Chains A and B, each alone.
Chain A
Amino acid sequence: MKLTGAQMVWESLVREGVTTVFGISGGAVIHLYHALPEYPIHHVLMRHEQAAAHAADGYARATGRVGVCMATSGPGATNLVTGLATAYMDSSPVVAITGQVATPLIGTDAFQEVDITGITLPITKHNYLVTDIHELPTVIREAFYIARTGRPGPVLIDIARDVQAAQAEYVYPEEVYLPGYQIPQEDCQSHVQEMARLINEAQRPVIIAGHGVILAGAEDALLSLAEKAQIPVVTTLLGISSLPETHPLCLGMAGMHGEAYANLALCEADLIVALGSRFDDRLTGPAKHFAPQARIIHVDIDAAEIEKNVRADLAIVGDLRDILPALISLVEERDHTDWLSRIREWRKESAERDILAQELDELFPQYVIRQIWHATQGNITVVSDVGQNQMWEAQYFIHHRRRGLISSGGLGTMGFALPAAIGVQMALPHEQVWVTAGDGGFQMNIQELATVVQEKLPLKIAILNNGYLGMVRQWQQFFFEGRYSGTPLLGPDFARVAEAYGIPGLTVRERSEVMPAIERALATDGPFLMDFRIVQEENVYPMVAPGSSIQQMIRRPLHSKR
């Protein structure tokens, strides 16, 4: 079969099972767009390439399938950068396809030429520049394989314009040959036995469940392990929903804004079992003070994560889906009564301090999040943005659904939520998808409201509007003499902006209006936006000051609203 390079791209995408592509056109991809209508692929026209990358990322995180985005050369390609870096930091399988100037022009500073493979070298798992049409099918096959296997990550394919226009015989390779790419498949039986021995000996074990549990699809195995040996589980931000937060063994998120009892459990533990977590500094605080009494077992699919940040007494490199079932059969049943009741005491103390336990009449963000949870029974996928709003969402929404939270963890990219949610909703048309965002981050990709309308996506959007770049303001309050430099933020009337795009919107100022607003959103067929004017200087508690050990937390002052 003879195809043009452009046809080869779409044909290969169809064979990879791709049904949706997020992108924006331009001169260097015009051949690609010309061929698109011949193929059963839905193209979502975004309003910014960064958003296209986030949408592909969201699509991937919601499903585990590869998300695809597309951009033209030059500014189109550079606009993808933040989105690719976001996907890279959070191990999300994305394939980005960019157009490049024609082969004879490469290196001449031609119009809209940019060295995008050079630029994205450190933020992709791998990338390709294709200047020969005969390599194109193999490159696409490899790109998808690399993106989704092992530790997933983004792969970029830069295709010269003349390659898209050229014609050649098309053969899609069955097999990939990548001698330098190994997915760990070592026989870890002896390690698993050692791991079981350490777990069986432990008096105060804690599991850290990271994003890797979700990426591996090992949620069931995690649950069985935790239940059989009665091991409490803390999660990282991206590990949220690896174990239902309704489960008594789930202590929720640990780390800088983690639950106090989750952090105390890590500090008092005699054994830490880290599953698919890379010991990010937001989780551990200074590595040398982390979990001083504990032996550490580290299981990860990426060998380079072992001993990168935190020492490991036992390390296993492999797939949690293979390792956990083997482990569970070797782990003995335990009840850890004393340990669990100590944690329950800490938990009770936290509950008493909790802002929701206090008599409040102002509009607190924690209340808004908890009401969204009540109204939806938690049966939604939340895509959260970055900042205080992200932490309140993580703390106050009780996630029990698989892949029920999608958020930018490693890069902490403001502006992620709305475009990522577009990807999530495209992937899960029958699920309810909510965006939670701050007034700052929402304005970073607000233009995607147009895409929401164009695609008729029923997204529900909750803005926690505090009139500040709130997370930075909080740091200024705590550590920089309360000097609010560059953080007060004048926002638009978000409800009216939404209406201008064709999305009904509502401004909520009173506590009593919260539930009715959420109910109206739920009763609306299409998209709906709520602008919650929350208490402006509310802080996220607890907070581990940067540089402190995670047991030294700044707690919410007792009997105070702030």
Chain B
Amino acid sequence: MTHTRHTLIALMEDKPGVLNRVSSLFRRRNYNIESLSVGHSETPGISRMTVVVNGDDRVVQQVVKQLSKLINVTHVQDVSNRPTVVRELALIKVRASHGTRSEIMELANVFRAKIVDVGATSLTIEITGTETKVNSLVRLLQPFGIEEMARTGRVAMVRDGASDEGPGTETPF
């Protein structure tokens, strides 16, 4: 049995309390959820959730089945073994002085991140990418002093024409 991170995509009715049903299920069944991100989907009235769950295949199968049992959840899919586009967005406010500002901006540039706010003592950087990419930037920024950070957690989409059996091809950038 493999102990890995799985990415699940779930579609659910956009009704009050549905998110509560989902998170209550995760808590009650003691599932190890790493991140969870929800928003509107292409269909009005349907929300889309990306869940990153840690566990062996059996546990993840259980998560999929238990989620599917919720009446308001219309569709659940484990996309871990399929070619997907995976992204996360992070806003990072990093301490910046006269001496460090240009170095930080250069780093951001290499990561194709954007500077979205410039203050007297800080820079705010917006980065989009895989978690690995975001993690790398965070690591490089840490010595400067990260004052605030907000990460969305993973969102994922299966690539067009991807077969069910295709290998997971998460491009790092």
Contacts and interface: CB of A to CB of B under 8 A. Distances in A.
Interface size class of B (residues with CB under 8 A): 20 to 34
B62 A117 contact: no
Contacts of A122: 24-25, 28
Interface stretch (B65-73, B128-136, B147-155): B65-73
Interface centre among A117, A178, A180, by most B CB within 10 Å? A180
A181 B58 contact: no
Contact of A302 (B21, B69, B72, B74): B69
B24 A121 contact: yes
Contacts of A557: none
Nearest to B69: A304
A429 interface: no
A104 interface: no
Given A304-B66, A307-B58, A126 B17 contact: no
A178 B20 contact: no
Contacts of B65: 303-304, 306
A308 B24 CA distance: 19
- Could you say which interface size class chain A belongs to? 10 to 19
> Majority SS of interface residues in chain B?
helix
A304 B24 contact: no
A308 B71 CA distance: 20
Interface string B1-34: 0000000000011001100110011001000000
Nearest to B28: A122
Contacts of B70: 180
B71 A303 contact: no
Interface string A77-89: 0000000000000
A123 to B, nearest CB: 10
A126 B21 CA distance: 10
Contacts of A121: 20-21, 24
B61 interface: yes
A181 B20 contact: no
B66 A180 contact: no
Which of A117, A121, A122, A304 has the most chain B CB atoms closer than 10 A to its own CB?
A: A304
A122 B72 CA distance: 14
A547 interface: no
Most A CB atoms within 10 A — which of B16, B17, B69, B72?
B69
Contact of A307 (B12, B61, B71): B61
Interface string B56-100: 001001100110111111110000000000000000000000000
Contacts of B58: 307
Contacts of B28: 122
A307 B16 CA distance: 32
A118 interface: yes
A364 B73 CA distance: 53
Contacts of B12: 180
Contacts, number: 39
B71 A118 contact: no
B62 A308 contact: yes
Given A121-B20, A121-B21, A180-B12, A146 B68 contact: no
Contact of B71 (A117, A129, A178): A178
Nearest to B63: A304
A180 B13 contact: yes
A180 B73 contact: yes
A492 interface: no
A306 B74 CA distance: 20
A486 interface: no
B61 A146 contact: no
Interface string A296-307: 000000111011
A179 interface: yes
Contacts of B66: 304
A287 to B, nearest CB: 12
A146 B71 contact: yes
B17 A181 contact: no
Interface string A112-152: 00000110011001100100000000000000001000000
A125 B72 CA distance: 11
Interface string A513-531: 0000000000000000000
A455 to B, nearest CB: 35
B74 A117 contact: no
A154 B102 CA distance: 63
B62 A180 contact: no
Given A180-B13, A181-B71, A118 B62 contact: no
Nearest to B46: A179
B29 to A, nearest CB: 9
Contacts of B21: 121
A118 B20 CA distance: 8
Nearest to A307: B58
10 contacts: A121-B21, A125-B71, A126-B71, A179-B74, A180-B12, A180-B13, A180-B75, A302-B69, A304-B69, A307-B61
Given A122-B25, A179-B13, 9 more contacts: A125-B71, A126-B71, A180-B72, A180-B73, A180-B75, A303-B68, A307-B58, A307-B62, A308-B62
Shortest 10 CB-CB contacts between residues of A and residues of B: A304-B65, A180-B74, A126-B71, A179-B74, A122-B28, A181-B71, A303-B65, A180-B73, A121-B24, A304-B66
